[in-house]
């Protein structure tokens, strides 16, 4: 049976306020998209919270020496409303650094928003207490989605608090997302 504390470690995913000077996080405003100077997107705030239950490591392939987890959570966020999320994670248990975080956030109407870990700001443990739990932070890049999130771009930082007593996590999200419906092609 997997170690419950290790599973709790793998269930973290929380977004925190981002750094405005981050090279991967643009400022609020019009943002030209990669690959075309003709396409601009209006960026708007993205904020939310989520609560996760213990993770399941089934079916995830991670690099040797890393632990895997598939976590599910529910929460509420701007532009999503009430949502569910499935998160796939790989973390090095000794160093406390994630090599993979992929998440699919599903809004109540079924529209999906896809995010993946920012390799320049990977998830990492910043405070650890073996008796009570830990806090982790990191960054996620919004890479698209379905429905109103098709073609979405943006950046979100997270902050998670994992409680070993309940083997769950509480996460806050803060960042920017392209305004749903703002992706326009200009001639």
pLDDT averaged over 10-residue windows placed end to end, the chain, 187 residues = 40 33 37 42 84 72 86 90 91 86 94 94 88 92 93 93 86 88 51
pLDDT of residue 58: 67
pLDDT of residue 35: 37
Q: How far apart are the C-alpha atoms of 49 and 177, rounded to whole Å?
A: 16
Across 34-120, where does the E strand assignment appear?
39-52, 67-77, 81-92, 97-107, 112-117
pLDDT of residue 157: 95
What kind and span of H or E run contains 121?
none
Q: How far apart are the C-alpha atoms of 63 and 74, rounded to whole Å?
A: 28
Q: Do the Cβ atoms of 21 and 168 come closer than 8 Å?
A: no
Radius of gyration of the chain (CA): 16
In order of start, what are the domains of the chain with their CATH numbers? 4-185 (2.40.350.10)
- Tell me how many degrees the CA angle 24-60-156 measures, rounded to the nearest 5: 20
pLDDT of residue 33: 38
What one-character DSSP code corresponds to residue 56? Answer: B
């Amino acid at each position: 049976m997997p170690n419950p504390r290790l599973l709790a470690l793998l269930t973290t995913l929380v977004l925190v306020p981002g750094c405005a000077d981050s090279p991967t996080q643009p400022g609020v405003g019009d943002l030209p998209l990669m690959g075309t100077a003709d396409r601009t997107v209006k960026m708007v705030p993205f904020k939310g919270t989520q609560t996760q239950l213990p993770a399941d490591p089934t079916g995830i392939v991670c690099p040797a020496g890393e632990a895997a987890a598939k976590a599910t959570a529910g929460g509420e966020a701007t532009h999503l409303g009430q949502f569910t999320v499935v998160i796939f994670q790989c973390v090095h248990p000794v160093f406390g650094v994630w090599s993979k975080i992929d998440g699919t956030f599903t809004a109540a109407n079924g529209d999906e928003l896809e995010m993946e870990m920012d390799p320049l700001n990977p998830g990492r443990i910043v405070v650890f207490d073996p008796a009570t739990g830990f806090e982790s932070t990191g960054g996620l890049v919004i890479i698209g989605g379905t429905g109103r999130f098709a073609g979405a771009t943006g950046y979100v930082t997270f902050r998670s608090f994992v409680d070993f007593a309940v083997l769950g996590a509480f996460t806050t999200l803060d960042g920017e997302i392209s305004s749903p419906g703002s992706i326009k092609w200009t001639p």
